Amino acid sequence: MTYRFFTPPPAKAATGLTATVHRQLRDEFLGPVPTFQVLSVVPELMAGTWALMREALLAGDASRVERELVASVVSRANRCRFCVDAHVMLLHALGEHELAEVVARGGTPPQPRHATLAAWAQASRTPEAADWGSPYRPELTGTALAFHFINRIVSALLDPDLLPGGLQRSRVVRSAGGRLYAGTARAPKDPGLGLSLLGVDTPAPPAWAGDSPVGGAYASLRDTALRGGDLLGDLARRTVTATVRWEDGRHPARPAEWATDLIRDLPGADRVGARIALLAAFAPSAIRPGDVALWRLSHPADADLVRLVAYGAITATDHVARALSPAQL
């Protein structure tokens, strides 16, 4: 496992909020996994991401298998190999070996409920074109949104291989990993613990979440991640937002050239930042070392790179969330 642009501090060196998140990760998930390690340079962003994932994917009495299915299929729609591999392994951990391998191949689950859920998760990539909404409870909807955000963070900042040579894509390795984490994956988690990591002045939760803690977690992450837009000028932010809306999740055929065309008329100081944010929203693995090197000329801190990527990621995620309505609770 390698980090693409910087190596974050080790978990054992963490203090304060970061250390608290790491403790929850060790107690309730797979430990200090790279997804959260790379976010640890912005503790409030790390906490918000974990809170949403915990409350949506892990906590409460909604089917964990269904939530892992949603996480896996959204990850495939977003072309995040790392997350597909991780959540296929967790389907194995839950004892769903056949379903796990169908998802790993990109096939249609044999059970009608699972097939319908997978199609719904896949369609969320392009919510306007698919006339997407959610007939499901907040945990499933929140899982979809969580992974639209997490996939983009992971694809931008992490190497796609969990293990050397992509060994995690071997069925034997996936199954063995599932057995290793079966106890943790199947243990019940009480709702609400993730909210203890968030600030007291959290925004109002979205209507689609009802009174579920998923709503507060999403609202907090959205608020925190959108602040990364402050690294860009107003015209650059408007370019990112407008592009996300009109492109509606389309995968650019040639991401580098596509992004270059979009930033051509922006002020020079904003071009590379807008380019990274746009790629984070649409094709995060296409962010290149040269892009980051140019960004670091004016913003050398690792935290600013993470904030910028998170801004692009949440802008794309919120485009999906905007397709939801209060009637779809």
Q: pLDDT per residue over 68-80, tens digit each?
A: 999 999 999 999 9
The residues, any chain, with a CB within 8 Å of residue 146's CB and separated by 6 or more, are 49, 52, 53, 56, 57, 71, 218
The reported pLDDT for the residue numbered 202 is: 82
d(CA 99, CA 69): 8
The reported pLDDT for the residue numbered 327 is: 44
Three-state DSSP class for 146? helix
Give residue 170's pLDDT band: very low, low, confident or very high (50, 70, 90): low
Lowest-pLDDT choice from 81-95, 116-130, 278-292? 81-95
The reported pLDDT for the residue numbered 200 is: 77
In 3-state terms the chain splits into helix, strand, coil percentages (rounded to 5) of 70, 0, 30
Give residue 292's pLDDT band: very low, low, confident or very high (50, 70, 90): very high
Tokens of 173: 């390795």
Q: Using alpha carbons only, what angle is made at residue 156 by residues 28 and 255, rounded to the nearest 5 degrees? A: 145
pLDDT over threshold 80, residue 181: no
Q: How far is CA 254 from CA 154, 192, 259, 282, in A?
A: 20, 42, 9, 11
Three-state DSSP class for 3? strand
Handedness of CA 230, 232, 235, 241 (dihedral sign): negative
CA 265: distance to chain centroid? 30
pLDDT over threshold 90, residue 173: no
CA 291: distance to chain centroid? 21
pLDDT over threshold 50, residue 246: yes
Report the chain's C-alpha Rg in angstroms. Answer: 18
Q: Spell out the domains of the chain, with CATH numbers in brackets.
A: 17-192+207-226 (1.20.1290.10), 228-321 (no CATH)
The reported pLDDT for the residue numbered 2 is: 84
d(CA 104, CA 87): 9
Mean pLDDT calculated for residue range 221-239:
98
Lowest-pLDDT choice from 172-181, 301-310, 318-327? 172-181
d(CA 13, CA 25): 15
Q: How far is CA 104 from CA 84, 140, 174, 282, in A?
A: 7, 20, 10, 22
Give residue 166's pLDDT band: very low, low, confident or very high (50, 70, 90): low
Mean pLDDT calculated for residue range 192-216:
93
The reported pLDDT for the residue numbered 275 is: 98
The residues, any chain, with a CB within 8 Å of residue 222's CB and separated by 6 or more, are 203, 314, 317, 318, 321
Three-state DSSP class for 162? coil
Report the share of the chain in percent with pLDDT over 70.
Answer: 93
Model pLDDT for residues 91-127, shown as the tens digit of each residue? 999 999 999 999 999 999 999 999 999 999 999 999 9
Q: Using alpha carbons only, what angle is made at residue 320 by residues 30 and 85, rounded to the nearest 5 degrees? A: 30
Mean pLDDT calculated for residue range 244-250:
97
Mean per-residue pLDDT of the chain: 93
Three-state DSSP class for 186? helix
Give residue 63's pLDDT band: very low, low, confident or very high (50, 70, 90): very high
Q: Using alpha carbons only, what angle is made at residue 189 by residues 79 and 175, rounded to the nearest 5 degrees? A: 50
d(CA 2, CA 18): 21
The residues, any chain, with a CB within 8 Å of residue 290's CB and separated by 6 or more, are none
Three-state DSSP class for 158? strand
d(CA 42, CA 18): 9
Give residue 328's pLDDT band: very low, low, confident or very high (50, 70, 90): very low
Report the share of the chain in percent with pLDDT over 90.
Answer: 87
d(CA 172, CA 50): 29
Residue in 194, 200, 221, 211 with CA at minimum distance from that of residue 317: 221
Give residue 178's pLDDT band: very low, low, confident or very high (50, 70, 90): low
195 DSSP assignment: G
Q: Check: CB of residue 156 under 8 Å from CB of residue 70.
A: no
